[in-house]
């Protein structure tokens, strides 16, 4: 059973500074396209557009936005961190000042295009 029942419940359960960061990322994601939908999956906010698009997670006072096709976009967006993952790449944030809405929306738009084309891995 999920610890949280809704995305709002997840966000409101965080401390104030983390909550502000999550609300900002959420607004950036949802303002990128009216076709992006939000739901709680894997106990964190997930965003979908013709498949899984991205998610927001928290680890040790750091907020991450993970892009489900991010590894494909790593060369175009060096800010993306691959870590030990094959498909997902993420950006980590500790401060509001570090968030660049234009970069996030650009990555989201490219990710949406990959979802439209059903691209999973680079060949």
| Average pLDDT of the segment spanning 55-65 | 95
Measured distance CA(43)–CA(3) in Å, rounded:
7
φ/ψ of residue 118, rounded to 5: 60, 35
The DSSP symbol for 60 reads: T
pLDDT in the model for residue 121: 61
Domains of the chain, with CATH numbers?
Answer: 7-114 (3.90.1150.200)
Tokens matching residue 109: 């738009």
pTM of the model: 0.93
Question: Which residue blocks in 1-123 are alpha helix, DSSP H?
Answer: 7-12, 16-32, 70-73, 101-116
Average pLDDT, the chain: 93
Kindly report, residue by residue over 8-36, the tens digit of the pLDDT.
999 999 999 999 999 999 999 999 999 99
pLDDT in the model for residue 85: 87
Percent of the chain clearing pLDDT 70 (strictly above):
95
């Amino acid at each position: 059973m999920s610890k949280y029942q809704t995305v709002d419940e997840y966000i409101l359960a965080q401390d104030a500074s983390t909550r502000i960061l999550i609300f900002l990322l959420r607004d950036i994601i949802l303002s990128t396209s009216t076709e992006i939908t939000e739901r709680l999956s894997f106990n964190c906010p997930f965003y979908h557009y013709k498949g899984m698009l991205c998610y927001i997670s928290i680890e040790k006072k750091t907020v991450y936005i993970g892009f489900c096709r991010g590894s494909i976009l790593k060369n175009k967006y060096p800010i993306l961190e691959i870590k030990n993952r094959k498909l997902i790449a993420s950006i980590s944030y500790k401060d509001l000042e570090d968030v660049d809405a234009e970069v996030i929306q650009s990555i989201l738009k490219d990710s949406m295009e990959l979802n439209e084309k059903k691209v999973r891995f680079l060949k």
